[in-house]
Amino acid sequence: MPLVSMRQLLDEAAKGGYGVGAFNVNDMEQIQAIMMAAKETKSPVIVQASRGARQFAEDLYLFRLIQAAAELNPDIPIAMHQDHGNSFETCKSAIALGYTSVMMDGSLKEDGKTPSSFEENVDVTRRVVDYAHERGVTVEGEIGVLGGVEDGHGAGGSGLDHITDPDQAVEFAERTGVDALAIAIGTSHGAYKFTKKPDGSVLKMDVLIAIHKRLPNTHLVMHGSSSVPKDLQDIVNQYGGKLKETWGVPVEEIQLGIRNGVRKINVDTDNRLAITGAIRKVLWTQPEKFDPRDYMKPAREAMKKVVAARMTEFGQAGHAGDYKPIAITDIAKGYADGSLTTQPLVAAK
């Protein structure tokens, strides 16, 4: 199956009332882990690469691996997404490679660190939307700013510093025409999100619900949504790691989000933990091993288990065969003739 428009994948998810995990990749084993999980659970899937991943793997290696995944798994709809594009040029280069979706994270300036103004965010996101839609490519924008830093991207600080204002979310969606909207509700990238199991004072599901009420047709995106399970932390620490105690976003909160318009859920940290724990275990318990396959194989298996669990919990499992991909050129026509335009998104106040 060719790579699928993320818009189509999310529209289908909205129709079916489920969420779709967007899993970060840097290398072949992570891509394989995702595809093994997607095949096992019959799930459509979003694979995403940050700027750091594109640099680490070199664009062409990574993109060719995704193409191989699509070729080897003709029954699985796959959208390839640029995670946290920092500029028009970054998004343009992803589109040139063949990514079917880009995130223009205009919530930060081009340095990927400094929060931008609302007008700057609208301006750069709108430009990316115009360019991408002409080519049938989906655009995710962000309003509000996530906490933490991942792959060198992020404002740092607490997830509570720049919670999304629902009024701004509405204006942003109207003025940019984004297909999907990432919002800040207290989550952060990375392992250290919360110091105890989060409640409503730090994880603002009420804000998410308020935004969904105002933008019922907009696909909402939850970033920083690893659950950072204790068992994965324990494996890392049992075999010589030094993670401090931490809490992520509980799966039941994500499921509440899915019932309130969340269609894309970003997960990276849980997979990093699973991989690291598996590698540590082999190297710690069998120090005589030196063939990378001896630890990469269990690492891939450990990530597959996490991804398959999330696919089931998010509800995307079993939906791979629901639809046929619409050609990206036809998606472009849909944007051009208005049939796919996201306006009007806004329900009455």
Residues that bind ligand 13P (CB under 6 A): 24, 83-84, 150, 189-190, 223-226, 266-269
To the nearest whole angstrom, how small is the minimum distance from the Cβ of residue 55 to ligand 13P?
Answer: 16
To the nearest whole angstrom, how small is the minimum distance from the Cβ of residue 207 to ligand 13P?
Answer: 17
Nearer to ligand 13P, 176 or 266 (CB): 266
Cis-peptide into 344, omega within 30 deg: yes
Nearer to ligand 13P, 194 or 295 (CB): 194
- Chain centroid to Cα 49, Å, comes to 9
Active-site residue, 234 included: no
> Exposed (0-12), middle (13-18) or buried (19+): which is 10, by Cβ within 10 Å?
buried
Nearer to ligand 13P, 5 or 225 (CB): 225
- Chain centroid to Cα 146, Å, comes to 13
DSSP letter for each residue of 56-115: HH-HHHHHHHHHHHHHH-TTS-EEEEEEEE-SHHHHHHHHHHT-SEEEE-TTB-TTSSSB
Nearer to ligand 13P, 141 or 334 (CB): 141
Alpha-carbon span 239 to 216, nearest angstrom: 46
To the nearest whole angstrom, how small is the minimum distance from the Cβ of residue 48 to ligand 13P?
Answer: 7
| Active-site residue (options: 11, 83, 165, 270) | 83
To the nearest whole angstrom, how small is the minimum distance from the Cβ of residue 218 to ligand 13P?
Answer: 18
**Alpha-carbon dihedral sign for residues 114, 226, 321, 60:** positive
**Residues labelled as active-site residues:** 83
